[in-house]
Amino acid sequence: MTDPRDDTGATEKARLDRWLWAARLYKTRALAAEAVDGGKVRVNEERVKRSRLVQVGDQIDLRQGPYQLIVVVRALSTRRGPARMAVTLYEETVDSVAARERVALQLKTANALFVTETEARPTKRDRRRLDRFRRDSGWK
């Protein structure tokens, strides 16, 4: 077994909150711990505490906003390194990628329904017409 404080940060087991931070799934360790405590992170389909030790092969389900990610732990690290190294720590499942892309498409199309295409800001004339309408209709 290696020392958890060694140069590479590689261990046989790692705390869940530190691993989530090292894998760059959360920006800070505090955010990772808050997500775990809030029940947004599950390991092997169980609600866990932030001090849970994860190991290679564990399945981690996490919710980030509208997205549900399912990742499998491929390597361990307790040190946050470059993004290229972080993506080697986990592998997202095929189902998770498909579901994430489906939600992204739904959000994109839903946003298009509610966004109005305006050419420019209202002019002074438009504002005066609106003020006149409000005054005449009794709406303040």
Q: How confident is the model at residue 118 (pLDDT cuts 50, 70, 90)?
A: low
Three-state DSSP at 99 gives helix
Domain ranges of the chain: 1-97
User: Looking at residue 7, what is its pLDDT?
Assistant: 43
* pLDDT the model gives residue 114: 67
Helix/strand/coil (H/E/C) assignment for every residue in 20-75: HHHCCCCCCHHHHHHHHHCCCEEECCEECCCCCEECCCCEEEEEECCEEEEEEECC
* CB count in 10 Å sphere of residue 11: 20
> How many residues can be counted in the chain?
140
Give the Cα separation of 132 and 19 in Å (integer): 61
Instruction: Indicate the fold that domain 1-97 takes in CATH.
Output: 3.10.290
**Distance, CA of 117 to CA of 84 (rounded, Å):** 39
Mind listing the pLDDT tens digit for each residue in 81-90?
A: 999 999 999 9
**Rounded distance between C-alpha atoms, residue 70 and residue 92, angstroms:** 6
139 token code pair: 């709406």
pLDDT, tens only, 82-117: 999 999 999 999 999 999 999 998 888 877 666 666
Please provide the average confidence, as pLDDT, over all residues in the chain.
86
Q: What is the pLDDT of residue 6?
A: 47
Q: Which residue type does 61 have?
A: D
The tokens 């438009």 sit on which residue? Answer: 126
For position 29, what pLDDT does the model report?
Answer: 94
Q: Which amino acid is at 13?
A: K
Task: Encode pLDDT of 2-49 as tens digits.
Answer: 444 444 455 688 999 999 999 999 999 999 999 999 999 999 999 999
The answer to pTM > 0.85 is no
